[in-house]
Amino acid sequence: MPRASRHYLPGHIWHLTQRCHRQQFLLKFLKDRRIWIDWLYMACKRFGLCVLDYNVTSNHIHLIVRDRGCGEIAASLQLIAGRTGQQFNERKNRRGAFWEDRYHATAIESGEHLARCVVYVDLNMVRAGVVAQPAQWQTCGYHEIQEASRRFAIIDRKALAEVLEVSVADLADRHAQWIAEALGYGSHPRVCGWSSSIAGPTGPSLLHLSPSNQ
C-alpha cells in the first residue's frame, strides 16, 4: 500500500503527487480517473480530508490538502490509492502494482505561494499539450473552484479562500485571473520545485501576481 513520504503537521498545507507504476498511463480513461475522484470524495466524508485542489492526469495525480492533525491525510491516501488500484486490477484482470511505491509530499506556504501551486496544478494538462485551458480537462479541481454550487463538491472553498488570503466571494474571480495571467505567458514548463520536499518561500515563478492581486 502506498505510503506518504512525509510526516504531516497540523495546519500545514501539502502538495502531494503520486505516479502510476513505471509511469504507465493507467489513468488514461475518464472512467478510471473518475474512480479516483470518487474515492477522494469518500475520503473527505470518511476522514474529514481538507482538499484545496486536485488534478488527475493520465499517469499521475496532484492533490493539495490542509492537515487537520487527525491522521486524515495518510488514511485518505491509503484508501484512495488502494481502492483505485484494486478496482482497476479486478476490472482488467491485471496483477501487480498500480502506483509507484511512495507518495511525494511538498510543504506549501499560504498566500501567494499557494496561489502559484494551485495554478501549477490546474495547468498540468495544458503543459502536456492535451488541452488549451484547464476548463477543458474534466478531472481537476479547477471546476469546483470556479463553481461554488457544484454537487458532490470535494474542494473546501472556504478553507481554500482562507489560506489564499482572499474572500470566498472573490475566490473564483481571483483564481480565474491568476490562470489567465499564467496562460498569457504562452509557456508552461514543468517546475521541479513543486516536487521537492519543501518548496522555497517564494515558490517557483509560474506567474507574477500583481500588487492588486495580493
Q: Which residue has the cell 515558490?
A: 203
* β-sheet bridge partners, residue 155: 51
Domain that holds residue 153: 13-202
Distances (CA, A) of 181 to 25, 54, 116, 168, 177: 30, 20, 11, 20, 6
pLDDT value for 8: 55
pLDDT value for 195: 52
What are the backbone angles phi and psi of residue 62, rounded to the nearest 5°? -120, 140
Task: Kindly tell me if the per-residue pLDDT of 2 is higher than 80.
Answer: no
> What is the percent of the chain where pLDDT is above 90?
77
Does the residue 150 lie in any domain? yes
Give the domain CATH number at 190. Answer: 3.30.70.1290
Amino acid of residue 175 = H
CA–CA distance, 96 with 89 (Å, rounded to integer): 8
Does the residue 32 lie in any domain? yes
Note the pLDDT tens digit of each residue in 107-139. Answer: 999 999 999 999 999 999 999 999 999 999 999
Q: Order of strands, edge to edge, in the sheet holding 50-56?
A: 50-56, 60-66, 13-19, 104-108
On whether the CB atoms of residues 142 and 131 are closer than 8 A, the answer is no
Decide which of 77 and 8 is more confident: 77
Does the residue 6 lie in any domain? no
Cell of 107: 510543504
Does the residue 110 lie in any domain? yes
CA–CA distance, 170 with 48 (Å, rounded to integer): 25
Strand segments, DSSP code E, in the chain are 13-19, 50-56, 60-66, 104-108
Does the residue 207 lie in any domain? no
Q: How many domains does the chain have?
A: 1
**Average of per-residue pLDDT across 204-208:** 39
CA angle 67-73-76, nearest 5°? Answer: 145
Cell of 192: 521541479
Does the residue 77 lie in any domain? yes
* Predicted TM-score (pTM) of this structure: 0.84
pLDDT band at 186 (very low <50, low <70, confident <90, very high): low
Does the residue 127 lie in any domain? yes
Hey, is 106 helix, strand or coil? strand
